[in-house]
Amino acid sequence: MRTQITIQRFNPDKAPEHFVSNYSIEYDRGTTLLSALLNIKNQMDGTLTFRASCRAAICGSCLMQVNGVQKLSCRLSIHDELASRGQIHVGPMANMLVIKDMVVDLAPFWSKIKDVTPYVVATKRDGDISPLQNIHEMLHNADGCIMCSACLSACATYEVSPNFLGPAALAKAYRFLVDPRDQAHQSRLAFLQKDDGIWDCVRCNLCVSVCPKDVAPMEQIIRIRRLSIANGFDQSVAAAHIIAFTKVVGEEGQLNETRLPLLMLWGHWRKLLRMIPLAIKMLWHRKAPFPFKWPKGYKQVRAIFANRKAHLK
């Protein structure tokens, strides 16, 4: 079988603009994108530049955008991609400085990993024994990251705020936050409360969808938020919203849009006064629940929250 691969390219030594190259290749059901690119480089165009190493989806170095989605080229089937998308358009990772063709500058990515102190911080004395731990239950696959940077390339927050720590770094932070050998849990949590930390994630879920190893970075970020609140880091607006939201739904069995801002802003009278026009609009458009009418099934919702609270104790 034969098809065409379209590649977005960039060579700063020749021109400041990106350009496109098309290559006609032979493929079968077992042909991966990486094998096709290697064939192009070896037999058609030696100037084509990309990263690759293990060819087994372990090193993460061959990540690139295929039809606008971050994917590992070593495990992407040409046949399957054509069957689902009808074309093969290849380009460098988004949100990153392109050095040449599919090779991007990964220095910002590694800088973010370094910022979260990606190792166990512990002072071990003679005779100390590391606590036993069930890695599988504790880490939720946070240790499965291969540092491919797919999540950072896809991250909606990083696109508009380059200082954001990013999904991979935050997932790595969670890995050490739940390690019983680590003695820096509180300082780690305090660091993650700052601007561009855990509360800046907009939960777009793109990092989860593109991760080739099912690390689910967004879920790890949510777990860090829960740990933060449980450890007293609840002063941020986002944390206050979570606490108030949980309280309202747990008590009423529904989201009471009238009570939620009252709980969040109680004591901040100026902010509460500013909410009055919005509250009137909500009442007028029947967007606020009737205060003395309980929704159907509210007792079951209360029971779920009560059971969860008892379990946590």
> Is the CB of residue 221 less than 8 Å from the CB of residue 198?
yes
| Both tokens assigned to 135 | 């890695």
Answer yes or no: is pLDDT of 126 > 60: no
* pLDDT number for residue 207: 97
pLDDT > 90? residue 282: no
Average pLDDT for 63-72? 97
Instruction: Give the residue ranges of DSSP H helices in 193-268.
Output: 206-210, 217-230, 237-252, 259-265
Q: Tokens in use for 60?
A: 């993460």
Cα separations in angstroms, 282 against 79, 119, 266, 278, 290: 52, 49, 19, 6, 12
Q: For position 44, what pLDDT does the model report? A: 97
Q: Has domain 107-230 been given CATH number 1.10.10.60?
A: no
Q: How many CB atoms lie within 10 A of CB 265?
A: 18
Average pLDDT value over all residues in the chain:
91
At residue 69, the pLDDT reads 97
How large is the angle between the packed helices 298-312 and 237-252, nearest 10 degrees? 120
> What per-residue confidence (pLDDT) applies to 132?
61
Instruction: Dig out the tokens for 26 from the structure.
Output: 């032979």
pTM to 2 decimals?
A: 0.87
- With a cut of 70, say whether residue 125 has pLDDT above it: no
pLDDT at 283: 81
Tens-digit pLDDT profile for residues 152-206: 999 999 999 999 999 999 999 999 999 888 999 999 999 999 999 999 999 999 9
As a residue count, the chain comes to: 313
For the chain, the structural domain boundaries read 2-104, 107-230, 237-312
What is the pLDDT, as a whole number, of residue 86?
A: 96
d(CA 63, CA 118): 22
- Report pLDDT for 135: 58
Domain 2-104 carries which CATH code? 3.10.20.30
Is pLDDT above 60 for 263?
yes
Residue 228 has pLDDT above 90, yes or no: yes
Structure confidence at residue 299 as a pLDDT band (50, 70, 90): confident
Per-residue pLDDT band at 127 (split at 50, 70, 90): low
74 with 55: CB under 8 angstroms?
A: yes
Query: For residue 88, what pLDDT is reported?
Result: 98
Q: How far apart are CA 152 and CA 164, in angstroms?
A: 10
Query: Is pLDDT at 232 greater than 60 in this prediction?
Result: yes
pLDDT attached to residue 276? 85
- Please state which of the ranges 50-64, 100-114, 279-293 shows the lowest mean pLDDT: 279-293
